Chain A
């Protein structure tokens, strides 16, 4: 459905490389996640695929159409939800939806079954101005508007940024239901914990793809044994772990610190435990853990910079 071939984009006359030879494919009916921090190049990729920006190099197709030559055809078929809330704040919920339906040569009735699940949640507020909606409701309205013309592919650029944890969860449930309707979805997010909700993901940092695979495969490919450590003072624990030469990576994860050892074969835990006790740490807890996407991202990211 979507193919990218060495797609590159620079800004400021080539001085800023935003997207660096990115290639990947998204299959029909897939929920594909582009995961990376702000400034990684997610929005630039989305804007090139939605024909809003021209690539400097490389090529890409969306639904078989070339993003440069066939931009008009792409504009007729895709649904796009930009990162910022991009609806008319002074129009009501219903007016916004009606407007977008007409712009896309359709009516609300025609595709109501597609947006029904989402729209019923905001329908009680259909006379309210879009600007007066809460973050979660704005998002639902924006999604309804992007879907109203039954696009074959849906591009969602950071739909959950700045949204609280509860609304985020609801949003991902909506996406799951949409997938069953056969719509291909490309979504970008800076939240690593959302990665597992996608069929396949691309981890991206500084314009480069770090890894593309299913979330499970990415986690399975993590090469080191990972341990989680906890003690009373996380700050002093961190400092002491960093000073400990046998530890390779050392990053906080919630109340734990995730570490891996330089020497994979040896059993390092008892020695470390003794070291930490000597340093005066109390209530130490060490356990082996399976890595998450964020562990993988950090690892790939540090490898890339070294």
Chain B
């Protein structure tokens, strides 16, 4: 055990003395959260929109007032005909137009169903998506309020995707994503690199020709990165709660537990990569291509998995980050408990055991 602790201490020296890398590892999550957070929230504040109100009735003007009152929209123009919409977009004056049909309130009151058309500038799909979501949410908000006073529910037809995001915060989507990305980067890539570095330096040779058990070498190398990751988890959560004002709706203990589970999966993956790679570049390249890209592309954090073609949807199942992303969303944002995420938890545990066994079996007790 003394050997083990001595090894862990040595690892901390390595990390501590390479200040630049250490600051990158600890600073990266902070910077990412802040940049993502502010970039996204600023983007959609006070967006210029135009209204084509063909109904000009009580309901439409109430909704328009509410849209205008929100901090996300600013009504720049009132339009009078469809062709004007295109002109307004072409002039670059507006980011979205909202169209009320002629018989809006009549439809709503008599058929209990009415439609509002949202026209957004899809040349920037992210912004367009966010804006339509916000508008939909505000309309949905109105709809809920009028429904409390009636027997028969009214429906205003718009897609309400922001069901669990009543405050309309973009941060909700990327906090789990950044967590997955950062943990993967710190654990997988750094663990792989640090072990391969020992091979490159020739120190692994001496470690092998010593009473230290190879498995101990591996675990001792992983421990510091586990601790670093816990610090990162803490800093991401603190930042999201206090700076981005994204509350943790579910159990924080559960969230931390799941994050550590994901960290362990990443560590096992790092160990697995290190057993195959002979140079630091190879280790880095494998980590980036085989893990980082799928995490960004297939975890659902950047692009919704549901909209992907079937082959990609199937592949996304083997991306650990997908399950972690779904867990964090459930616990942090939806406030759900283990009852709902047991399946994801089980999958991650299975993955960890699988990768770890593979890594240990593949670990070379000799040089070739």
Q: Count the B residues whose beta carbon is within 8 Å of the partner chain — how many?
A: 24
Closest chain-B Cβ to A44's Cβ sits at a distance in Å of 10
Whether B211 pairs with A80 at a CB distance below 8 angstroms is: no
Contact residues in B for A51 (Cβ distance below 8 Å): 208-209, 366
A80→B205 contact, CB < 8 A = yes
A52 on the interface (CB 8 Å rule)? Answer: yes
**Residues 96-129 of A at the B interface (beta carbon under 8 Å):** 98-100, 102-105
A53 at the B interface (CB under 8 A):
yes
The winner among A90, A103, A105, A146 for most chain B CB atoms within 10 A is: A103
Q: Is the interface of B mostly helix, strand, loop or mixed?
A: helix
Distance in angstroms between the alpha carbons of A89 and B18 in the assembled complex: 11
Asked if A292 CB lies within 8 Å of chain B CBs, one says: no
Which residues of chain A have C-beta atoms less than 8 A from B71's C-beta? none
How far does the alpha carbon of A80 sit from the alpha carbon of B211 in the complex, in Å?
Answer: 12
B366 contact set on A, CB distance < 8 A: 51-54
B152 shortest CB reach to chain A, Å: 74
Instruction: Decide: A102 and B6 in contact? CB cutoff 8 A.
Output: yes
Q: Is the CB of A103 within 8 A of B205?
A: no
Given known contacts A88-B14, A89-B201, A76 and B211 CB-to-CB distance under 8 angstroms: yes
Residues of chain B from 142 to 168 with CB closer than 8 A to chain A in the complex: none
Residue of A nearest to B216 (CB): A103
Tell yes or no: A84 within 8 A of B by CB.
yes
Docked CA distance A264–B192 (Å): 64
A-side interface mostly = loop
A41 to B18, CA, bound (A): 37
Contact pattern, A 63-85, Cβ under 8 Å of B = 1, otherwise 0 = 00000000100111010101111
Distance in angstroms between the alpha carbons of A145 and B208 in the assembled complex: 14
User: Which positions 345-368 of chain B face chain A at CB distance < 8 Å?
Assistant: 365-368
A47 within 8 A of B: yes
CB distance from A31 to the nearest CB of B (A): 20
Q: Which residues of B contact A90 (CB under 8 A)?
A: 13-14, 17-18
- Closest CB of chain B to A255's CB: distance in Å? 39
- Inter-chain CA distance A47–B205, complex, in Å, is 9
Q: Does B210 contact A (CB under 8 A)?
A: yes
When distances are taken between beta carbons in the complex, the residues of chain A under 8 Å from B368 are: 11, 53-54
**Within the complex, which residue of B13, B18, B206, B212 is in contact with A80, where a contact is CB–CB below 8 Å?**
B206
In the complex the two chains form, is A91's CB within 8 Å of B205's CB?
no
Residue in A closest to B368 when the chains form the complex, CB atoms? A53
Give the nearest-CB partner of A96 in chain B: B10
Q: How far is the CA of A30 from the CA of B18 in the complex (A)?
A: 43
| Complex alpha-carbon distance, A306 and B206, angstroms | 40
Which residues of chain A from 124 to 147 have any CB-CB distance to chain B below 8 Å in the complex? 145-146
Cβ-defined contact, A47 with B13, below 8 A: no
Q: Is the CB of B211 within 8 A of A75?
A: yes
Question: Does A50 have its Cβ within 8 Å of any Cβ on chain B?
Answer: yes
If the complex has contacts A84-B202, A85-B202, A86-B202, are A50 and B209 also in contact, measured as CB distance less than 8 A? yes
Q: A87 in the interface, Cβ–Cβ < 8 Å?
A: yes
State whether B203 touches A87 (Cβ < 8 A): yes
A-B contact list, 8 entries, CB within 8 Å: A52-B367, A53-B367, A86-B202, A86-B205, A98-B6, A102-B2, A102-B6, A105-B2
5 closest pairs, A vs B, by CB? A86-B202, A102-B6, A84-B202, A80-B209, A52-B367
A82-B206, A90-B18 are known contacts; what are 4 more A-B pairs with Cβ within 8 Å? Answer: A83-B202, A86-B206, A91-B13, A105-B3
